[in-house]
Chains A and B, each alone.
Chain A
Amino acid sequence: EPEVTQTPSHQVTQMGQEVILRCVPISNHLYFYWYRQILGQKVEFLVSFYNNEISEKSEIFDDQFSVERPDGSNFTLKIRSTKLEDSAMYFCASLGQGRTDTQYFGPGTRLTVL
């Protein structure tokens, strides 16, 4: 069964550094998402992406964040200058087009900012 994959599984970085989290959505899916989950808290929506542009973003998704689909397969989330409060699990999700609008989630990247 096709699945969403994410790399790395765990990223440790110093405050102020840039990080890029990578996702490979399910092929032929057209909608892509990033969510995050701070330890012990809810899963929060960050951004959705369709047709090579952001379709919706939350208040969390400020100028420090950006997303890109650099080629036909990868979908990336960049945090330009990480803060301690960016430490969280980051989940990528993708969605196909059709009768069902089920979002499929990846296993997540645990980001630790020191």
Chain B
Amino acid sequence: DAKTTQPTSMDCAEGRAANLPCNHSTISGNEYVYWYRQIHSQGPQYIIHGLKNNETNEMASLIITEDRKSSTLILPHATLRDTAVYYCIVRVRVTGGGNKLTFGTGTQLKVEL
């Protein structure tokens, strides 16, 4: 799996958009970008994933650069409940599942009033 680099921590004001960057310059053509988050030692929670097109769901948007070497997770209106560690994970997607997830240290996002 390709290595990812994320800032250690970020702050965001409540109600504003939180933009979390991830660098994955060694990503290969068949590797997807996944985002999970972990709220204070709870189990990690899936947010979103993508290959090369931008993706949006009810939780967030994922913007992947054209060269796929970096991506940004956007939480459009951050709330205090979004305070968590956010993990960017790059891995091959196996049809039907089965792959383990390899977590890095992630970005600690702190949403403040």
Point out residues on A near B: beta carbons under 8 Å. 4, 30-31, 33, 35, 37, 42-45, 48, 50, 55-56, 58, 89, 91, 93, 95-98, 101-108
Contact = CB atoms under 8 A, between A and B. Distances in A.
A102 B46 contact: yes
Contacts, number: 55
Interface of B: 38, 41-46, 49, 87, 93-94, 96-105
Nearest to B96: A97
A58 B100 CA distance: 10
A95 B100 CA distance: 10
Contacts of B93: 101
Given A97-B96, A101-B93, A104-B46, A45 B41 contact: no
Interface of B is mostly: loop
A105 B43 contact: yes
30 contacts: A4-B43, A30-B97, A42-B104, A42-B105, A43-B38, A43-B87, A43-B103, A44-B103, A45-B100, A45-B102, A50-B98, A55-B98, A56-B100, A58-B100, A89-B41, A91-B43, A91-B44, A93-B43, A96-B97, A98-B96, A101-B94, A101-B96, A101-B97, A101-B98, A101-B99, A102-B49, A105-B43, A105-B45, A107-B42, A108-B42
B89 to A, nearest CB: 10
